[in-house]
A and B are shown apart, each in its own frame.
Chain A
Amino acid sequence: MLIRKAPELTNADITPKSVYLDRRKFLQAMGIIGATAAAGKGLLELAFPTQSAFAATKLTGLAKSPFSTTEKQNTFEDVTHYNNFYEFGTDKGDPAKNSKNFNTSSWSVSVEGEVKKPRRFTMDEILKIAPLEERIYRHRCVEAWSIVVPWIGFSFSNLINLVEPTPKAQFVAFQSYFDHGQMPQAKYAGIDFPYVEGLRMDEAMNPLALLCVGMYDETLPNQDGAPVRMVLPWKYGFKSIKSLVKIKFQQKMPPTTWNLSAPSEYGFYSNVNPNVDHPRWTQSKERRLGEIFKRPTLMFNGYGDQVASLYTGMNLKKNY
């Protein structure tokens, strides 16, 4: 038998999303996936090479948001194949490859700490907290690249109001899912897991802070933080924690992963600020993916009207 390796795909060769999703559904219905997986996972990939092998669900009835930008959106392909998700590897292409079999079924998010109504939300419950909106945000990475993404979700404040924080709740601590078995690449990342992040309470209440469950009209791909993540467009991308499993309201400022790793480089606030340089990346400019030359970076990533008042009187050079 002659087995030839499938040629590398280019953008033009990608199976239209609707086609491969239909094929997936068909195969699932036939119970072939399980059998094939048992017989040898590689066979299916060899026979039907796809670039994104996740089972996405369409999200419909999305409200438009006044916070959306009209800038040109990046392609789904770019946003799903250029990722920082160190649990799945440190190269930009690693998360797409290594998160294919990430199991996000029966997901739940625990909300605890200084709240009157601590509880655990299943994904179905999260999707019903508030009407889903499409929010087309600029997303600026600390590594000086940026993208424009049509996220789907609702203001995080909707969840906060449900659990009724006590007056002691000054900060929100977030924690990502972590599991050595599903994330074997994580041991090479050089940072500690589970990934943790945090916000001040007023930041978390700001309507821009998005609890995100999808993008490009469908549920989140694994490599983009499935099934639920935060999106904080005025902060560097690493603040927007992925694959969220725990939210804790507390009195003191929570530790954050990159700050623990390199305190002189990454602060708690990490607001996009072209005037405060990172030792490795000039923050005054950024490369929008799809462009060759760099463009100027905007204060608060251009969201100053919504968030600048959160930081009045604060020295942002000190509180980087």
Chain B
Amino acid sequence: MRKLLSSKWTKVVVFLLCLVPLGALAWRAFHGGLGANPVEFVQHATGDWILRFLVFTLAITPLRKLLHLPELIRFRRMLGLFAFFYVCLHFLTYIGPDQSFDLSAMWKDVAKRRYITVGFAAFALLIPLAITSTAGWIRRLGGKRWQQLHRTIYVAAVLGVIHYYWLVKSDVRKPLFYGVLVAILLLWRLGDWFFKRRSQAPVRITAPGVSVNG
């Protein structure tokens, strides 16, 4: 398993798998499979995949530790960047078909409708994370500061779930499902942090170099 996870081919396969949702949309687009409201279909599909990729990204650290598979970390940046990639597509369908590329109308909409406000905020929070996702930026910021910055994904994921919850009219099953997943992944971190603090409290370890911790 660990050998498989370290193989460079696994990374290629995961990369291609992450493109499947886009491929499925493209296939549907060319085969009349987007239904009566294609714009809405793409908005919902990309929205779903954003939340899924955020959940995948947030699941890496807990799985890595629980399963003792440190190699999983190799996939975290890619999954996070794919979340951002689908965020960009999602945003394009909003600024384009919904707002006709009218920026002033868009800002009014962002200010007015609360589900758009939180959705846009989540998008804005993810931009610096995507920019600083490179090894160069980890070096420039220093491991600790980089890590603190990248904890913003917790906020973005919560805002993303709220965005979905506020969007639906009355059937809240799907947003609640994502909400529960995000809550589990964040609560695990809280538990992990609490447990570590208690067990490490008496001894202060100052490790040199970059610590990768999620």
Chain A interfacial positions (CB closer than 8 Å to B): 8, 10-12, 74, 77-79, 81-82, 86, 90, 92-93, 143, 145, 188-191, 261-262, 277, 279-282, 287, 289-290, 292-294
Contact = CB atoms under 8 A, between A and B. Distances in A.
B32 interface: yes
B19 to A, nearest CB: 21
Nearest to A190: B170
A contacts with B: majority SS: loop
B33 A8 contact: yes
Contacts of B166: 280
A293 B97 contact: yes
Contact of A189 (B35, B39, B167, B171): B171
Interface stretch (B52-60, B108-116, B206-214): B108-116
Interface in B113-151: 113-115
Contact of B97 (A78, A92, A289, A294): A294
B37 A191 contact: no
A178 B33 CA distance: 32
Contact of A86 (B40, B113, B170): B170
B36 A11 contact: no
Contacts of A145: 37, 40
A293 B35 contact: no
B96 to A, nearest CB: 8
A92 B170 contact: no
A282 B171 contact: no
A110 B97 CA distance: 45
Contact of A191 (B35, B38, B109, B170): B170
Given A8-B33, A261-B170, 9 more contacts: A90-B168, A90-B169, A90-B170, A145-B37, A189-B171, A280-B115, A280-B167, A293-B97, A294-B98
Interface of B: 31-33, 35-40, 97-98, 100, 109, 112-115, 166-173
Given A10-B31, A282-B109, A287 B37 contact: yes
B35 A82 contact: yes
Given A279-B114, A282-B113, A294-B97, A10 B37 contact: no
Contacts of A294: 97-98, 100
B171 A90 contact: yes
A287 B37 CA distance: 9
B36 A280 contact: no
Contacts of B39: 287, 292
A93 B37 CA distance: 11
Nearest to B114: A279
27 contacts: A10-B33, A74-B36, A79-B36, A81-B35, A81-B36, A82-B36, A82-B37, A90-B169, A90-B170, A92-B35, A92-B36, A92-B37, A145-B40, A190-B171, A262-B170, A277-B112, A279-B114, A280-B115, A280-B166, A280-B167, A280-B169, A281-B113, A282-B112, A287-B40, A287-B97, A292-B38, A293-B97
Nearest to B170: A190
A191 B172 CA distance: 11
A12 B32 contact: yes
Contacts of B97: 287, 292-294
Contacts of B35: 81-82, 92-93
Contacts of A280: 113, 115, 166-167, 169
A8 B31 CA distance: 10
Nearest to A78: B36
Contacts of B167: 280
B99 to A, nearest CB: 8
A77 to B, nearest CB: 8
Contacts of A143: 169
B36 A289 contact: yes
Nearest to A75: B36
A294 to B, nearest CB: 7
A6 B96 CA distance: 36
A190 B172 contact: yes
B32 A11 contact: yes
A10 to B, nearest CB: 4
A78 B32 CA distance: 12
B36 A188 contact: no
A281 B116 CA distance: 10
